[in-house]
Amino acid sequence: MSDRDGLIWYDGNMVPWRDATTHVLTHTLHYGLGVFEGVRAYNTPRGPAIFRLKEHTERLLNSAKILGMKVPFDLETLMEAQVAVVRDNNLESAYLRPFAFYGSEALGISAKTLSVHVAVAAWTWGAYLGAEALEKGIRIKTSSFTRHHVNVTMCKAKTSGNYVNSILAFQEASSLGYDEALLLDVDGFVAEGSGENIFIIRKGKIFTPDLTSALEGITRDTVVQLANEMGLTVVEKRITRDEVYTADEAFFTGTAAEITPIRELDDRQIGNGSAGPVTKALQKLFFDAVQGRDDKHSDWLTYVR
């Protein structure tokens, strides 16, 4: 990833991609106390547009607030930085990675006295779990790794270190031949995927776990709004894994995963084993919105040119 052409916004300046480096004694590199976002820009009939930029940037600043990290840039500057990396790299569609991290002035546990740096990179990235996954759905496995307890590292912050848990879960599922992991919370209820929120459909109703130990997903919020517009209510409740086994449909949501149907959990086929009708209807509304074909949600898009 580091050896390529392009520009990265780094502490207020556009720097050549290869020069966007940091010292090996960077505090965040050692302890994981950094915050980041995953954002997408889509190609629309009016050129590239960033999806729900303000909400992602607010979540970045909230993640920093939760950790007590003082980001030296305000919301507007960080939003402009994201627009600039898509524009200045001439990207038509992109995945954006804003990242705030502590500097290398000291390596004790406390980060209080350290400088805070921000970088924003953007590059072309297709369907996260593969194009076929979006159409046919994926096979997932309940993880042996439990999602973070709500009072351990704070689940509402998109903290770098929280992803150790996600990586362990994903790598375990992947090495067993599954496409993604499903993590349960400390009480054994369904929490989320390694980088996705989950929805299930049972008897015409849509359910999603409450947000106790899952990330407050922006795609999740988008899907709730789109479902409501379709006349469907989304019920937030504790969900058990056997409710997923016997669901008519299930899908993951995330900026990277978009809306990915789930066709199997723990080798049990869900519904008819392919993307169900409600999932497909929501996918259509979602892609219409993100790709600028739906005027009703134009406020979700920030055009870069």
Sign of CA dihedral 267, 272, 274, 279: negative
Name the region of 174 (left: φ>0; alpha: ψ -120 to 50; beta: rest). alpha
Please tell me which residue in 158, 203, 205, 280 is annotated as part of the active site.
Answer: 158
Nearest approach in angstroms of CB 253 to ligand PMP is: 6
Q: Is residue 27 at the binding interface for ligand PMP, with CB under 6 A as the rule?
A: no
Write each residue from 31 to 70 as x if it is in contact with ligand PMP (CB under 6 A), else as -, in one continuous string: -------x--------------------------------
Q: Is residue 197 at the binding interface for ligand PMP, with CB under 6 A as the rule?
A: yes
Nearest approach in angstroms of CB 131 to ligand PMP is: 19
Active site residue 65: no
Return the residue of 20, 218, 239, 301 that touches ligand PMP, per CB under 6 A. 218
Return the residue of 179, 180, 185, 192 that touches ligand PMP, per CB under 6 A. 192
Nearest approach in angstroms of CB 24 to ligand PMP is: 26
Cβ nearer to ligand PMP, comparing 69 with 214: 214
Q: Please, which residues bridge with residue 182 across strands?
A: 142, 193
Determine the angle formed by the axes of helices 53-67 and 218-229, rounding to 10 degrees: 140
Nearest approach in angstroms of CB 240 to ligand PMP is: 19
Tokens at 143, concatenated: 């993880």
CA angle 154-158-159, nearest 5°? 75
Helices and strands in the chain, H and E counts: 8, 17
DSSP state of 257: T
Phi, psi of 144 (to 5 degrees): -80, -10
CA angle 250-131-211, nearest 5°? 35
Point out which span in 93-101, 202-210, 218-226, 236-244 binds ligand PMP (CB under 6 A): 218-226
Q: Is residue 217 at the binding interface for ligand PMP, with CB under 6 A as the rule?
A: yes
Question: Within 145-184, which residues bind ligand PMP (CB under 6 A)?
Answer: 166
Q: Is residue 196 at the binding interface for ligand PMP, with CB under 6 A as the rule?
A: yes
Return d(Cα 172, Cα 166) in angstroms, integer.
10
Cβ nearer to ligand PMP, comparing 104 with 255: 255
Return the residue of 48, 195, 209, 276 that touches ligand PMP, per CB under 6 A. 195
Point out which span in 113-121, 123-131, 189-197, 271-279 binds ligand PMP (CB under 6 A): 189-197
Nearest approach in angstroms of CB 114 to ligand PMP is: 25
Q: Is residue 219 at the binding interface for ligand PMP, with CB under 6 A as the rule?
A: yes
Instruction: Compute CA distances 235 → 188, 206, 210, 229, 303, whole Å.
Output: 19, 6, 9, 15, 33
Cβ nearer to ligand PMP, comparing 41 with 114: 41
Question: Within 228-287, which residues bind ligand PMP (CB under 6 A)?
Answer: 253-255
Return d(Cα 127, Cα 134) in angstroms, integer.
8
Helix (H), strand (E) at residue 138: strand 138-142
DSSP state of 159: B
* Residues in Cβ contact with 164 at an 8 Å cutoff, skipping those fewer than 6 apart: 32
User: What is the Cα 303 distance to its own chain's centre?
Assistant: 21
Enumerate the active-site residues.
Answer: 158
Q: Using CB under 6 A as the criterion, which residues of the chain lie in contact with ligand PMP when the complex forms?
A: 38, 166, 192, 195-197, 214-215, 217-220, 253-255
